[in-house]
Amino acid sequence: MTARLHRFARPALFGVVAFLVSFAFSWVPSPWGDEAATVLSADRPWLSLARMLTTVDAVHGVYYAVMHVWIDAFGQSMVALRLPSAVAVGFAAAGVVVLGDRLGSRRIGTIAGAVFIVLPRVAFMGGEARSYALSAAAAVWLVVLIVHLLHSPGLRPRVWFAYSLALAASIGIFLYLGLLLPAVAVAVVVPWLWRGAKRGRCVVVEPARWIRFTLLGILLAGPVIGFAIGQRNQISFLGDQQAVTPHTLVVTQWFGSSPVAVFGWSAIAVALVVGVGESRRHTRADDATASLLSLSAAAVFVPMLILLVVNALVAPIYTTRYLSFATPFVALLMALGISTITRRFAVQAVVVVGLAVLVLPVYVAQRQPFAKDGGSDWAEVARAVRERARPGDAVVFDDDVGNSRKPRAVKYLYPSDFAGLVDVTLKTPYAQTSGIRDVTRSIEASAAALRATDGRVWFVDYRGLSGDRPEQLAQLERLGYRVTLTVGLHRDTLYRLDRRA
Protein backbone atom coordinates (compact mmCIF):
# COMPACT_ATOMS: atom_id res chain seq x y z
CA MET A 1 0.00 0.00 0.00
CA THR A 2 2.81 2.42 0.88
CA ALA A 3 4.57 1.73 -2.43
CA ARG A 4 1.33 2.32 -4.34
CA LEU A 5 0.73 5.62 -2.55
CA HIS A 6 4.29 6.67 -3.28
CA ARG A 7 3.85 5.83 -6.97
CA PHE A 8 0.81 8.10 -7.25
CA ALA A 9 2.14 10.90 -5.02
CA ARG A 10 4.07 12.60 -7.82
CA PRO A 11 1.21 12.59 -10.35
CA ALA A 12 -1.11 13.84 -7.61
CA LEU A 13 1.28 16.68 -6.79
CA PHE A 14 1.38 17.75 -10.42
CA GLY A 15 -2.41 17.54 -10.50
CA VAL A 16 -2.74 19.86 -7.51
CA VAL A 17 -0.33 22.39 -9.00
CA ALA A 18 -2.12 22.27 -12.36
CA PHE A 19 -5.45 22.83 -10.61
CA LEU A 20 -4.14 25.83 -8.70
CA VAL A 21 -2.55 27.42 -11.78
CA SER A 22 -5.69 26.95 -13.88
CA PHE A 23 -8.09 28.02 -11.14
CA ALA A 24 -6.20 31.16 -10.08
CA PHE A 25 -8.11 34.27 -11.19
CA SER A 26 -10.30 32.19 -13.50
CA TRP A 27 -13.35 34.01 -12.10
CA VAL A 28 -12.12 37.42 -13.31
CA PRO A 29 -13.04 37.34 -17.05
CA SER A 30 -16.64 37.99 -18.04
CA PRO A 31 -18.43 34.89 -19.28
CA TRP A 32 -19.31 34.57 -22.94
CA GLY A 33 -21.79 32.83 -25.19
CA ASP A 34 -20.50 29.26 -24.95
CA GLU A 35 -20.42 29.44 -21.16
CA ALA A 36 -23.94 30.85 -21.24
CA ALA A 37 -24.93 27.78 -23.26
CA THR A 38 -23.58 25.64 -20.41
CA VAL A 39 -25.78 27.46 -17.89
CA LEU A 40 -28.87 27.45 -20.11
CA SER A 41 -28.43 23.73 -20.75
CA ALA A 42 -27.48 22.54 -17.28
CA ASP A 43 -29.75 24.81 -15.23
CA ARG A 44 -33.04 23.36 -16.43
CA PRO A 45 -35.18 20.38 -15.38
CA TRP A 46 -33.88 16.95 -16.34
CA LEU A 47 -36.75 16.31 -18.76
CA SER A 48 -36.13 19.64 -20.44
CA LEU A 49 -32.42 18.80 -20.77
CA ALA A 50 -33.22 15.41 -22.28
CA ARG A 51 -35.60 17.01 -24.78
CA MET A 52 -33.02 19.64 -25.69
CA LEU A 53 -30.29 17.05 -26.32
CA THR A 54 -32.46 15.35 -28.94
CA THR A 55 -32.34 18.53 -31.02
CA VAL A 56 -29.04 20.25 -30.17
CA ASP A 57 -25.70 19.79 -28.37
CA ALA A 58 -25.90 16.02 -27.92
CA VAL A 59 -22.09 16.04 -28.19
CA HIS A 60 -21.96 17.80 -24.80
CA GLY A 61 -24.70 15.77 -23.13
CA VAL A 62 -22.57 14.06 -20.48
CA TYR A 63 -20.92 17.36 -19.55
CA TYR A 64 -24.29 19.10 -19.22
CA ALA A 65 -25.52 16.30 -16.97
CA VAL A 66 -22.46 16.67 -14.75
CA MET A 67 -22.92 20.44 -14.61
CA HIS A 68 -26.63 20.04 -13.83
CA VAL A 69 -25.72 18.17 -10.65
CA TRP A 70 -22.89 20.62 -9.91
CA ILE A 71 -25.04 23.76 -10.30
CA ASP A 72 -27.76 22.25 -8.12
CA ALA A 73 -25.16 21.74 -5.40
CA PHE A 74 -22.94 24.82 -5.70
CA GLY A 75 -24.78 27.45 -7.73
CA GLN A 76 -23.68 29.27 -10.85
CA SER A 77 -21.23 31.94 -9.76
CA MET A 78 -18.19 32.27 -11.98
CA VAL A 79 -16.12 30.52 -9.31
CA ALA A 80 -18.57 27.61 -9.17
CA LEU A 81 -19.02 27.35 -12.94
CA ARG A 82 -15.33 27.27 -13.77
CA LEU A 83 -14.09 25.21 -10.84
CA PRO A 84 -14.91 21.79 -12.44
CA SER A 85 -12.73 22.62 -15.44
CA ALA A 86 -9.78 23.46 -13.19
CA VAL A 87 -10.30 20.17 -11.35
CA ALA A 88 -10.37 18.35 -14.70
CA VAL A 89 -7.07 20.01 -15.64
CA GLY A 90 -5.60 18.62 -12.43
CA PHE A 91 -6.67 15.10 -13.36
CA ALA A 92 -5.31 15.59 -16.88
CA ALA A 93 -1.93 16.71 -15.53
CA ALA A 94 -1.75 13.64 -13.31
CA GLY A 95 -2.54 11.47 -16.34
CA VAL A 96 0.24 13.11 -18.36
CA VAL A 97 2.76 12.25 -15.65
CA VAL A 98 1.49 8.67 -15.37
CA LEU A 99 1.68 8.12 -19.14
CA GLY A 100 5.11 9.74 -19.37
CA ASP A 101 6.36 7.53 -16.54
CA ARG A 102 4.85 4.38 -18.03
CA LEU A 103 6.11 4.72 -21.59
CA GLY A 104 9.10 6.96 -21.03
CA SER A 105 10.79 7.59 -17.72
CA ARG A 106 10.20 9.47 -14.50
CA ARG A 107 12.14 12.37 -15.94
CA ILE A 108 10.02 12.51 -19.09
CA GLY A 109 6.88 12.26 -16.99
CA THR A 110 8.10 15.11 -14.80
CA ILE A 111 8.99 17.36 -17.74
CA ALA A 112 5.72 16.58 -19.51
CA GLY A 113 3.70 17.36 -16.39
CA ALA A 114 5.46 20.70 -15.97
CA VAL A 115 5.04 21.60 -19.65
CA PHE A 116 1.35 20.69 -19.54
CA ILE A 117 0.75 22.93 -16.54
CA VAL A 118 2.09 26.03 -18.28
CA LEU A 119 0.70 25.54 -21.80
CA PRO A 120 -1.68 28.42 -22.66
CA ARG A 121 -4.40 26.09 -23.97
CA VAL A 122 -4.45 24.36 -20.58
CA ALA A 123 -4.94 27.61 -18.67
CA PHE A 124 -7.63 28.60 -21.17
CA MET A 125 -9.69 25.44 -20.88
CA GLY A 126 -9.11 25.28 -17.11
CA GLY A 127 -10.82 28.66 -16.78
CA GLU A 128 -13.71 27.93 -19.14
CA ALA A 129 -17.11 26.52 -18.16
CA ARG A 130 -17.12 24.09 -21.08
CA SER A 131 -16.25 20.45 -21.61
CA TYR A 132 -12.77 20.92 -23.09
CA ALA A 133 -10.78 20.40 -19.88
CA LEU A 134 -12.86 17.34 -19.05
CA SER A 135 -12.26 16.01 -22.57
CA ALA A 136 -8.48 16.41 -22.12
CA ALA A 137 -8.61 14.50 -18.83
CA ALA A 138 -10.74 11.78 -20.40
CA ALA A 139 -8.38 11.55 -23.40
CA VAL A 140 -5.16 11.06 -21.47
CA TRP A 141 -6.62 8.60 -18.96
CA LEU A 142 -8.32 6.66 -21.74
CA VAL A 143 -4.92 6.29 -23.42
CA VAL A 144 -3.36 5.27 -20.09
CA LEU A 145 -6.00 2.54 -19.87
CA ILE A 146 -5.43 1.46 -23.47
CA VAL A 147 -1.67 1.21 -22.89
CA HIS A 148 -2.28 -0.93 -19.83
CA LEU A 149 -4.66 -3.22 -21.69
CA LEU A 150 -2.51 -3.63 -24.78
CA HIS A 151 0.56 -4.57 -22.79
CA SER A 152 -1.03 -6.74 -20.10
CA PRO A 153 -1.89 -10.24 -21.34
CA GLY A 154 -4.45 -12.37 -19.59
CA LEU A 155 -6.68 -9.63 -18.21
CA ARG A 156 -10.20 -10.65 -17.33
CA PRO A 157 -13.00 -9.73 -19.75
CA ARG A 158 -14.58 -7.41 -17.17
CA VAL A 159 -11.48 -5.20 -17.35
CA TRP A 160 -11.88 -4.93 -21.10
CA PHE A 161 -15.59 -4.24 -20.69
CA ALA A 162 -14.70 -1.42 -18.30
CA TYR A 163 -12.61 0.00 -21.14
CA SER A 164 -15.64 -0.14 -23.46
CA LEU A 165 -17.68 1.78 -20.90
CA ALA A 166 -14.88 4.33 -20.45
CA LEU A 167 -14.65 4.80 -24.21
CA ALA A 168 -18.41 5.31 -24.53
CA ALA A 169 -18.37 7.82 -21.66
CA SER A 170 -15.45 9.68 -23.25
CA ILE A 171 -17.28 9.98 -26.55
CA GLY A 172 -20.30 11.18 -24.57
CA ILE A 173 -18.16 13.90 -22.98
CA PHE A 174 -16.96 15.09 -26.37
CA LEU A 175 -17.64 13.31 -29.63
CA TYR A 176 -14.26 14.10 -31.19
CA LEU A 177 -12.51 11.96 -28.56
CA GLY A 178 -13.40 9.11 -30.88
CA LEU A 179 -10.64 10.44 -33.15
CA LEU A 180 -8.14 9.05 -30.65
CA LEU A 181 -9.02 5.56 -31.86
CA PRO A 182 -7.45 5.84 -35.33
CA ALA A 183 -4.53 7.58 -33.62
CA VAL A 184 -4.01 4.61 -31.32
CA ALA A 185 -4.32 2.27 -34.29
CA VAL A 186 -1.61 4.19 -36.15
CA ALA A 187 0.62 4.19 -33.09
CA VAL A 188 0.15 0.45 -32.68
CA VAL A 189 0.79 -0.45 -36.33
CA VAL A 190 3.84 1.75 -36.92
CA PRO A 191 6.01 0.38 -34.08
CA TRP A 192 4.92 -3.11 -35.05
CA LEU A 193 6.12 -2.63 -38.62
CA TRP A 194 9.34 -0.97 -37.47
CA ARG A 195 10.35 -3.41 -34.79
CA GLY A 196 8.65 -6.58 -35.94
CA ALA A 197 7.06 -9.01 -33.58
CA LYS A 198 9.74 -9.11 -30.90
CA ARG A 199 8.44 -9.55 -27.37
CA GLY A 200 8.74 -6.97 -24.63
CA ARG A 201 6.71 -4.75 -22.39
CA CYS A 202 5.94 -2.31 -25.18
CA VAL A 203 5.00 -4.81 -27.89
CA VAL A 204 1.27 -5.06 -28.41
CA VAL A 205 -0.09 -8.29 -26.99
CA GLU A 206 -3.79 -8.33 -27.77
CA PRO A 207 -4.66 -5.95 -30.62
CA ALA A 208 -7.57 -8.12 -31.76
CA ARG A 209 -9.21 -7.93 -28.36
CA TRP A 210 -8.67 -4.18 -28.31
CA ILE A 211 -10.44 -3.88 -31.65
CA ARG A 212 -13.41 -5.95 -30.43
CA PHE A 213 -13.95 -4.00 -27.23
CA THR A 214 -13.36 -0.71 -29.04
CA LEU A 215 -16.19 -1.58 -31.39
CA LEU A 216 -18.33 -2.39 -28.35
CA GLY A 217 -17.54 1.03 -26.86
CA ILE A 218 -18.50 2.73 -30.12
CA LEU A 219 -21.73 0.74 -30.16
CA LEU A 220 -22.52 1.85 -26.60
CA ALA A 221 -21.92 5.45 -27.65
CA GLY A 222 -24.16 4.94 -30.69
CA PRO A 223 -27.04 7.15 -29.49
CA VAL A 224 -24.71 10.11 -28.92
CA ILE A 225 -23.04 9.55 -32.29
CA GLY A 226 -26.41 9.26 -34.04
CA PHE A 227 -27.83 12.43 -32.49
CA ALA A 228 -24.59 14.29 -33.23
CA ILE A 229 -24.71 13.35 -36.91
CA GLY A 230 -28.31 14.51 -37.06
CA GLN A 231 -27.34 17.80 -35.43
CA ARG A 232 -24.33 18.49 -37.64
CA ASN A 233 -25.93 21.65 -39.04
CA GLN A 234 -25.56 23.15 -35.57
CA ILE A 235 -21.94 24.05 -36.37
CA SER A 236 -22.53 25.09 -39.96
CA PHE A 237 -21.71 28.65 -38.87
CA LEU A 238 -18.05 27.58 -38.87
CA GLY A 239 -18.22 27.74 -42.64
CA ASP A 240 -18.64 31.51 -42.37
CA GLN A 241 -15.46 31.88 -40.31
CA GLN A 242 -11.81 31.62 -41.25
CA ALA A 243 -11.28 28.82 -38.75
CA VAL A 244 -8.36 27.25 -40.63
CA THR A 245 -5.43 29.61 -41.09
CA PRO A 246 -1.70 29.14 -40.53
CA HIS A 247 -1.98 31.24 -37.38
CA THR A 248 -4.83 29.23 -35.87
CA LEU A 249 -3.11 25.93 -36.65
CA VAL A 250 0.38 26.89 -35.53
CA VAL A 251 -0.23 29.42 -32.75
CA THR A 252 -3.78 29.68 -31.43
CA GLN A 253 -4.54 25.98 -31.23
CA TRP A 254 -2.23 25.16 -28.32
CA PHE A 255 0.31 27.92 -27.75
CA GLY A 256 -1.46 31.28 -27.59
CA SER A 257 1.43 33.45 -28.83
CA SER A 258 4.12 33.30 -31.50
CA PRO A 259 7.09 33.01 -29.08
CA VAL A 260 5.46 30.08 -27.27
CA ALA A 261 4.58 28.48 -30.62
CA VAL A 262 8.18 28.72 -31.83
CA PHE A 263 9.34 27.08 -28.60
CA GLY A 264 6.68 24.37 -28.73
CA TRP A 265 7.04 23.40 -32.36
CA SER A 266 10.83 23.42 -32.09
CA ALA A 267 10.68 20.94 -29.22
CA ILE A 268 8.18 18.78 -31.10
CA ALA A 269 10.31 18.86 -34.26
CA VAL A 270 13.38 17.74 -32.31
CA ALA A 271 11.41 14.87 -30.77
CA LEU A 272 10.09 13.72 -34.14
CA VAL A 273 13.31 14.06 -36.14
CA VAL A 274 15.58 12.46 -33.56
CA GLY A 275 13.05 9.81 -32.59
CA VAL A 276 12.30 8.72 -36.14
CA GLY A 277 16.00 8.74 -37.03
CA GLU A 278 16.96 6.55 -34.10
CA SER A 279 14.09 4.17 -34.77
CA ARG A 280 15.18 3.68 -38.39
CA ARG A 281 18.76 3.05 -37.31
CA HIS A 282 17.57 0.70 -34.58
CA THR A 283 19.69 2.59 -32.08
CA ARG A 284 17.03 3.42 -29.54
CA ALA A 285 17.53 1.22 -26.50
CA ASP A 286 14.19 1.90 -24.90
CA ASP A 287 11.29 0.63 -27.01
CA ALA A 288 8.89 2.15 -24.48
CA THR A 289 10.05 5.69 -25.27
CA ALA A 290 9.63 4.97 -28.98
CA SER A 291 6.07 3.90 -28.26
CA LEU A 292 5.49 7.13 -26.33
CA LEU A 293 6.74 9.12 -29.31
CA SER A 294 4.56 7.33 -31.85
CA LEU A 295 1.50 7.34 -29.60
CA SER A 296 1.79 11.03 -28.70
CA ALA A 297 2.51 12.09 -32.27
CA ALA A 298 -0.46 10.11 -33.54
CA ALA A 299 -2.76 11.54 -30.85
CA VAL A 300 -1.75 15.07 -31.89
CA PHE A 301 -1.63 14.83 -35.68
CA VAL A 302 -4.12 12.12 -36.69
CA PRO A 303 -7.22 13.83 -35.17
CA MET A 304 -6.08 17.18 -36.55
CA LEU A 305 -5.54 15.74 -40.03
CA ILE A 306 -8.94 14.03 -40.03
CA LEU A 307 -10.71 17.21 -38.92
CA LEU A 308 -8.93 19.34 -41.51
CA VAL A 309 -9.69 16.92 -44.36
CA VAL A 310 -13.37 16.65 -43.42
CA ASN A 311 -13.53 20.41 -42.88
CA ALA A 312 -12.13 21.03 -46.37
CA LEU A 313 -13.97 18.34 -48.32
CA VAL A 314 -17.23 17.56 -46.51
CA ALA A 315 -18.49 20.12 -43.98
CA PRO A 316 -17.10 22.73 -41.58
CA ILE A 317 -16.31 20.90 -38.34
CA TYR A 318 -13.06 22.48 -37.18
CA THR A 319 -12.26 25.19 -34.66
CA THR A 320 -9.20 25.46 -32.44
CA ARG A 321 -11.03 24.59 -29.23
CA TYR A 322 -12.09 21.20 -30.56
CA LEU A 323 -8.53 19.84 -30.36
CA SER A 324 -8.05 20.81 -26.72
CA PHE A 325 -8.18 17.11 -25.87
CA ALA A 326 -4.85 16.63 -27.67
CA THR A 327 -3.02 19.06 -25.36
CA PRO A 328 -1.70 16.31 -23.02
CA PHE A 329 0.02 14.68 -25.97
CA VAL A 330 1.45 18.00 -27.14
CA ALA A 331 3.05 18.27 -23.70
CA LEU A 332 4.45 14.74 -23.97
CA LEU A 333 5.96 15.46 -27.40
CA MET A 334 7.53 18.66 -26.10
CA ALA A 335 8.93 16.77 -23.11
CA LEU A 336 10.52 14.22 -25.42
CA GLY A 337 12.08 17.04 -27.42
CA ILE A 338 13.42 18.80 -24.32
CA SER A 339 14.86 15.56 -22.96
CA THR A 340 16.54 14.96 -26.34
CA ILE A 341 18.11 18.41 -26.54
CA THR A 342 19.92 17.95 -23.23
CA ARG A 343 20.34 15.06 -20.80
CA ARG A 344 21.12 17.24 -17.78
CA PHE A 345 18.07 17.65 -15.58
CA ALA A 346 19.16 21.08 -14.33
CA VAL A 347 19.31 22.37 -17.89
CA GLN A 348 15.96 20.75 -18.68
CA ALA A 349 14.47 22.53 -15.67
CA VAL A 350 15.85 25.85 -16.90
CA VAL A 351 14.30 25.22 -20.32
CA VAL A 352 10.88 24.58 -18.75
CA VAL A 353 11.22 27.73 -16.63
CA GLY A 354 12.05 29.62 -19.82
CA LEU A 355 8.85 28.28 -21.36
CA ALA A 356 6.90 29.47 -18.32
CA VAL A 357 8.37 32.95 -18.73
CA LEU A 358 7.29 33.02 -22.38
CA VAL A 359 3.80 31.88 -21.38
CA LEU A 360 3.33 34.41 -18.56
CA PRO A 361 2.06 37.31 -20.74
CA VAL A 362 -0.49 34.97 -22.35
CA TYR A 363 -1.62 33.72 -18.94
CA VAL A 364 -2.03 37.27 -17.62
CA ALA A 365 -3.99 38.26 -20.73
CA GLN A 366 -6.32 35.27 -20.26
CA ARG A 367 -7.20 36.46 -16.75
CA GLN A 368 -8.27 40.00 -17.67
CA PRO A 369 -11.93 41.11 -17.27
CA PHE A 370 -12.58 41.24 -21.04
CA ALA A 371 -10.38 38.31 -22.07
CA LYS A 372 -13.03 36.00 -23.55
CA ASP A 373 -14.53 36.02 -27.04
CA GLY A 374 -12.72 39.13 -28.15
CA GLY A 375 -13.91 41.28 -25.24
CA SER A 376 -17.07 39.89 -23.62
CA ASP A 377 -18.25 42.40 -21.02
CA TRP A 378 -21.34 40.75 -19.59
CA ALA A 379 -20.22 41.13 -15.98
CA GLU A 380 -19.94 44.86 -16.65
CA VAL A 381 -23.40 44.88 -18.25
CA ALA A 382 -24.92 43.17 -15.22
CA ARG A 383 -23.24 45.62 -12.86
CA ALA A 384 -24.45 48.61 -14.88
CA VAL A 385 -28.04 47.32 -14.80
CA ARG A 386 -27.87 46.58 -11.08
CA GLU A 387 -26.64 50.08 -10.29
CA ARG A 388 -29.27 51.91 -12.37
CA ALA A 389 -32.44 49.88 -12.89
CA ARG A 390 -35.34 49.61 -10.47
CA PRO A 391 -38.02 46.93 -10.03
CA GLY A 392 -40.80 47.29 -12.58
CA ASP A 393 -38.55 48.64 -15.34
CA ALA A 394 -38.68 46.90 -18.70
CA VAL A 395 -35.58 45.34 -20.25
CA VAL A 396 -34.94 44.61 -23.92
CA PHE A 397 -31.95 42.76 -25.36
CA ASP A 398 -30.32 43.07 -28.76
CA ASP A 399 -31.41 40.09 -30.88
CA ASP A 400 -29.70 41.15 -34.12
CA VAL A 401 -26.41 39.38 -33.40
CA GLY A 402 -25.05 35.84 -33.40
CA ASN A 403 -26.04 33.53 -30.56
CA SER A 404 -22.65 33.58 -28.85
CA ARG A 405 -22.83 37.36 -28.41
CA LYS A 406 -26.53 37.92 -27.75
CA PRO A 407 -26.62 39.90 -24.49
CA ARG A 408 -29.89 38.26 -23.45
CA ALA A 409 -27.82 35.51 -21.83
CA VAL A 410 -26.51 37.94 -19.23
CA LYS A 411 -29.78 37.88 -17.28
CA TYR A 412 -29.35 34.14 -16.72
CA LEU A 413 -25.67 34.39 -15.84
CA TYR A 414 -26.38 37.15 -13.29
CA PRO A 415 -30.05 36.61 -12.37
CA SER A 416 -29.97 38.66 -9.16
CA ASP A 417 -28.96 41.77 -11.10
CA PHE A 418 -32.09 41.50 -13.25
CA ALA A 419 -34.51 40.58 -10.48
CA GLY A 420 -37.71 42.61 -10.69
CA LEU A 421 -37.18 43.71 -14.30
CA VAL A 422 -39.78 42.84 -16.93
CA ASP A 423 -38.43 41.00 -19.98
CA VAL A 424 -41.05 42.31 -22.37
CA THR A 425 -39.88 40.52 -25.53
CA LEU A 426 -39.73 37.08 -23.92
CA LYS A 427 -42.19 34.68 -25.54
CA THR A 428 -41.09 31.23 -24.29
CA PRO A 429 -38.44 30.69 -21.59
CA TYR A 430 -35.55 28.46 -22.62
CA ALA A 431 -36.47 25.65 -20.21
CA GLN A 432 -39.82 25.26 -21.99
CA THR A 433 -38.26 24.89 -25.43
CA SER A 434 -36.40 22.07 -27.14
CA GLY A 435 -33.53 24.43 -27.92
CA ILE A 436 -30.90 26.12 -25.80
CA ARG A 437 -32.21 29.69 -25.72
CA ASP A 438 -35.38 31.69 -25.16
CA VAL A 439 -37.88 32.23 -27.91
CA THR A 440 -38.53 35.96 -28.27
CA ARG A 441 -40.92 38.25 -30.12
CA SER A 442 -40.32 41.53 -31.86
CA ILE A 443 -40.52 44.89 -30.13
CA GLU A 444 -43.64 45.76 -32.14
CA ALA A 445 -45.30 42.58 -30.92
CA SER A 446 -44.30 43.52 -27.37
CA ALA A 447 -46.02 46.92 -27.41
CA ALA A 448 -48.77 45.85 -25.00
CA ALA A 449 -46.25 44.41 -22.55
CA LEU A 450 -44.27 47.66 -22.73
CA ARG A 451 -47.37 49.75 -21.96
CA ALA A 452 -47.96 47.64 -18.84
CA THR A 453 -44.58 48.61 -17.33
CA ASP A 454 -43.62 51.78 -15.47
CA GLY A 455 -42.59 53.68 -18.60
CA ARG A 456 -38.85 53.12 -18.34
CA VAL A 457 -36.95 50.69 -20.58
CA TRP A 458 -33.36 49.46 -20.44
CA PHE A 459 -32.02 48.33 -23.79
CA VAL A 460 -28.81 46.25 -23.88
CA ASP A 461 -27.18 46.54 -27.29
CA TYR A 462 -24.22 44.64 -28.68
CA ARG A 463 -22.17 47.46 -30.15
CA GLY A 464 -19.27 45.37 -31.47
CA LEU A 465 -16.95 47.16 -33.84
CA SER A 466 -19.54 48.75 -36.12
CA GLY A 467 -20.99 51.32 -33.75
CA ASP A 468 -24.11 51.54 -35.95
CA ARG A 469 -27.31 52.80 -34.38
CA PRO A 470 -29.37 49.68 -33.53
CA GLU A 471 -32.66 49.15 -35.35
CA GLN A 472 -34.35 47.98 -32.14
CA LEU A 473 -33.60 51.36 -30.60
CA ALA A 474 -35.41 53.03 -33.48
CA GLN A 475 -38.34 50.66 -32.99
CA LEU A 476 -38.61 51.68 -29.34
CA GLU A 477 -38.53 55.33 -30.34
CA ARG A 478 -41.38 54.75 -32.81
CA LEU A 479 -43.41 53.36 -29.92
CA GLY A 480 -43.03 56.64 -28.05
CA TYR A 481 -39.80 56.24 -26.09
CA ARG A 482 -36.79 58.54 -26.09
CA VAL A 483 -33.21 57.89 -25.01
CA THR A 484 -32.41 59.64 -21.73
CA LEU A 485 -29.15 57.89 -20.80
CA THR A 486 -26.41 56.10 -22.72
CA VAL A 487 -23.84 54.00 -20.88
CA GLY A 488 -20.97 52.90 -23.11
CA LEU A 489 -19.41 49.69 -21.88
CA HIS A 490 -16.47 47.69 -23.21
CA ARG A 491 -18.36 45.99 -26.02
CA ASP A 492 -22.03 46.57 -25.27
CA THR A 493 -24.07 49.71 -24.71
CA LEU A 494 -26.81 50.18 -22.13
CA TYR A 495 -29.56 52.66 -23.05
CA ARG A 496 -32.23 54.04 -20.79
CA LEU A 497 -35.41 55.09 -22.58
CA ASP A 498 -38.39 56.87 -21.02
CA ARG A 499 -41.90 57.06 -22.38
CA ARG A 500 -42.74 60.47 -23.74
CA ALA A 501 -45.38 62.30 -21.78
Residue pLDDT, tens place only, 306-358: 999 998 888 888 888 999 999 999 999 999 999 998 889 999 999 999 999 99
Q: Rounded to an integer, what distance in angstroms lies between the CA atom of residue 41 and that of residue 190?
A: 42
pLDDT at 279 over 80: no
Average pLDDT over residues 291-299: 92
Q: Degrees (nearest 5) of the Cα angle 353, 357, 359?
A: 110
In our burial notation (b when 16+ CB lie closer than 10 A, e otherwise), range 164-184 reads bebbbbbbbbbbbbbbbbebb
CB 236 within 8 A of CB 317: no
DSSP states of 307-371: HHHHHHHT-----GGGGGGGHHHHHHHHHHHHHHH---HHHHHHHHHHHHHHHHHHHHHHTSTT-
pLDDT in tens, 349-401: 999 999 999 999 999 999 999 999 999 999 999 999 999 999 999 999 999 89
What pLDDT sits at residue 59? 87
pLDDT in tens, 103-158: 999 999 999 999 999 999 999 999 999 999 999 999 999 999 999 988 887 788 89
What pLDDT sits at residue 195? 54
What pLDDT sits at residue 489? 96
What is the separation of C-alpha 108 from the centre of its chain, rounded to a whole number of angstroms? Answer: 26
pLDDT at 239 over 60: no
What average pLDDT is seen over the chain? Answer: 90
pTM confidence score = 0.92
What pLDDT sits at residue 285? 46
Q: Rounded to an integer, what distance in angstroms lies between the CA atom of residue 341 and that of residue 269?
A: 11
pLDDT in tens, 31-69: 999 999 999 999 999 999 999 999 999 889 999 999 999
Domain ranges, ordered by start, for the chain = 11-230+245-366, 377-499
pLDDT at 280 over 70: no
Range in 12-26, 288-302, 319-333 the model is least confident about: 288-302
